[in-house]
Amino acid sequence: MNDGRTYPLNKTDEQWRAELSTQEYEVLRQAGTERPGVGEYTDTKTQGVYSCRACGAELFRSDTKFDSHCGWPSFYAPLAEDRVEYIEDRSMGAKRVEVRCANCGSHLGHVFEGEGYDVPTDQRYCINSISLRLEPATE
């Protein structure tokens, strides 16, 4: 996934391989996708902040998570626009928009628009659970 882009947190491929599990590396650093319905956050209702599993940057809040029934966690907006990066993706034969962590460049998932979900932005950030870590809100 080294496409020449630079990020605030820049590590070598060897460093990422040492820090991430095989499955995490495949999704976060090689733009893989976990199977639908298997991720730990697909159906969770826990309140808190979702961070990048690779670098810890805060990306999404639970109050923007919604049930899309697509098999992956869905959000209608990132925590802030500067937290994520958008990359045109034509790898599956159609134009899609990849979502990456703006801090380390790790692959998170894709964002889709105009699907008709009843959310404020009409967007669905379809994010791999394995790309995230949930920090539950404290009471």
pTM of the model: 0.93
**Does residue 2 lie within any of the structural domains?**
no
**Does residue 4 lie within any of the structural domains?**
no
Burial environment of residue 14 by CB neighbours within 10 A (0 to 12, 13 to 18, 19 or more): exposed
Q: Which of 18-27, 48-57, 89-98 has the lowest mean pLDDT?
A: 89-98
Strand residues in the chain grouped as ranges (E):
48-52, 58-61, 65-66, 74-75, 84-89, 96-101, 107-113, 123-127, 132-136
**Does residue 8 lie within any of the structural domains?**
no
**Does residue 132 lie within any of the structural domains?**
yes
**Does residue 7 lie within any of the structural domains?**
no
Instruction: Report pLDDT for 91.
Output: 78
Residue 101 appears among annotated catalytic residues: no
Q: How many domains does the chain have?
A: 1
Q: Say which CATH number the domain at 77 has.
A: 2.170.150.20
**Does residue 80 lie within any of the structural domains?**
yes
**Does residue 100 lie within any of the structural domains?**
yes
Q: 52, 101, 104, 126: which is the annotated catalytic residue?
A: 126
DSSP-derived letter for residue 87 is: E
pLDDT in tens, 45-72: 999 999 999 999 999 999 999 999 999 9
Q: Report the pLDDT averaged over residues 105-125.
A: 96
Instruction: Report pLDDT for 5.
Output: 82
Which domain range does residue 30 map to?
13-136
**Does residue 58 lie within any of the structural domains?**
yes
